[in-house]
Amino acid sequence: ITAASEAERVLANSGISDTLQFAQVTLFKATKSEEVNGKRNPGTNGLDVERLKKNSIDAIAKNVEVIDLLCHHEDILDTNSQTIANYLLYKKSADIREKNLVMVQEKSK
């Protein structure tokens, strides 16, 4: 966890060389807010995660899809790994179906 935290810090402090124009980005977004001593914790660095619809990823990528998950950041994989896996498998199979359709259409020309 310490290594991941350090990597996250390094990435957060790095500059962006260019916008991702063609990449398709999927953000699995944890949407539960933490409460500390009965008061709402606004999230990382004082930012309200609910107001950042795409967690600022849209600043560097044009094609961002957001999948809201009702969980905390700390337990996103523990509580949603099956949902995430199913979604990724569905997207992969949809991509394969689309490629197959294009191939069939090209053969029929």
Give the containing element (helix H, strand E) for 107: helix 76-107
Q: Is the pLDDT of residue 34 over 80?
A: no
pTM metric for this prediction: 0.62
Ranges of beta strands (E only) in the chain are 20-30, 34-36, 39-41, 61-69
49-78: pLDDT as tens digits = 556 677 778 888 888 999 999 988 889 999
> pLDDT-derived band of residue 41, with 50, 70 and 90 as boundaries?
low
Token output for 40: 């709402």
CA 104 → CA 59, 94, 96, distances in Å? Answer: 37, 15, 12
